[in-house]
Structure 1
Amino acid sequence: MTLLAGVALAALTFVGMEFVAWFMHRYVLHGPLWFVHRSHHVRHPHRFERNDLSFVFYGALSVLLMVYGGPDKDWRYWVGAGIAAYGTLYFFVHDVLIHRRLPFWKRTSNAYLRALNMAHKMHHKTTGRDGSQEFGLLWVSPRYFELARRKPAASRPGRRPATAE
């Protein structure tokens, strides 16, 4: 496989992972695996939650694909690389920016990232298995863009200025 074809496959896998993540979140994590995902919807004093096992699954899948496809740089390698890229972005956006599990990148004035944050907060508005909305990570409903563009958090009275883009 040529480098260009491999990069294209990795990019296509990255985009496809948004659909996989949405489907898995909506129908599997809020379905039969709710006992694992529930830990993500309730407040708890623990640093880690059962829901973090999702990273282990996708990380292991990515590593296995890259290891077995690596010697020949065949399709498995590039699909694994696309999954890894999506997982890396997912970690920084979801766990660092939205849930603030690490002490950096706490605020942003970027309308897209603010819209993402609002959509995710709507997802967590309910703590139960049913009644949630906005199951994806990177695709955001247009209504949240409109809200995010109205007035940046940094310019609202009583708010600290944004520190990240």
Structure 2
Amino acid sequence: MSLFICILISVAAFVFMEGIAWFAHKYVMHGFLWNLHKDHHQPHDGLFEKNDLFFLIFAIPGWLCIQFGWSSEAWWVVSIGCGITLYGIAYFIVHEIIIHRRFKFFTKSNNRYVKAIRWAHKMHHRHLNKEEGESFGMLFVAKKYWDKIKRDEQVQKDQFSR
């Protein structure tokens, strides 16, 4: 199997994971596993949450694909595992570092994408219970949040031009 095909499979798996993450967040985390996710929506002390256990839940399929694909030389399976793992890394960077600032990097970004994902996530977290949620994805931001950021930037520009 060519390297190009393996990379395409990894990219496809990465993109597909956004849909899996959205579905799992909406129907699993805000559904029957709410008891693990609830502390993520509530104020609490300490660095860790029960919600952090989802890291393992999502890491296991990627690890298994890489492990079993490698041992059986099924490179397409390894590629899927790599896509899942890369999504996990992106999730960690975007959700834990950029959005929730659990680690103090990228704290003062003026990037529109960063502003949009932070606003979308803020709107998700304004709901403290499992019902009536919004914005369950992570990397793809709905148009309404982009529009809100553009409006904010326009208001700020208008204020400075007075």
The answer to whether TM tops 0.5 is: yes
User: Tell me, what secondary structure is at the counterpart of 1:31?
Assistant: helix
Deviation at 1:58, TM superposition (A): 1.5
Aligned residue in 2 for 1:75: 76
Q: Deviations over 1:94-137 (max 9, x none)?
A: 10011011011112111111111100000000110101100000
Q: Which residue of 2 aligns with 1:11?
A: 11
Cα separation, 2, equivalents of 1:81 and 1:73:
13
Per-residue deviation, residues 68-115 of structure 1 (Å, max 9, x unmatched): 212425221000100011110110111001101101111211111111
Equivalent residues in 2 for 1:11-30, closer than 5 Å? 11-30=11-30
Secondary structure in 2 aligned to 1:70? helix
Task: Work out the CA distance in 2 between the residues paired with 1:144 and 1:103.
Answer: 24
Unaligned runs of 5+ in 1: 157-165
- Helix, strand or coil: the match of 2:38? helix
Q: Distance in 2 between matches of 1:116 and 1:87?
A: 17
Matches within 5 A, 1:83-102: 83-102=84-103
C-alpha distance in 1, partners of 2:105/2:140?
23
Q: Flag structure 2 segments of 5+ consecutive residues without an equivalent.
A: 158-162
How big is the shift at 1:149? 2.3
* Counterpart residue number, 2:104: 103
Contact between 1:97 and 1:107, CA under 8 Å: does it hold in 2? no
The percentage of aligned residue pairs carrying the same residue is 38
Alpha-carbon shift at residue 151 of structure 1 (Å): 4.1
In the other structure, the counterpart of 2:63 is 63
Report the CA distance between 1:150 and its aligned residue.
3.2
Please, what TM-score do these two structures have when normalized by structure 1?
0.88
TM-score by length of 2: 0.90
The residue identity in structure 2 corresponding to 1:16 is F
Paired amino acid for 1:41: H
**Distance of 1:111 and 1:96 partners within structure 2:** 16
Q: How many residues align?
A: 154
Runs of 4+ with deviation above 4 angstroms: none
- Aligned residue number for residue 54 of structure 1: 54
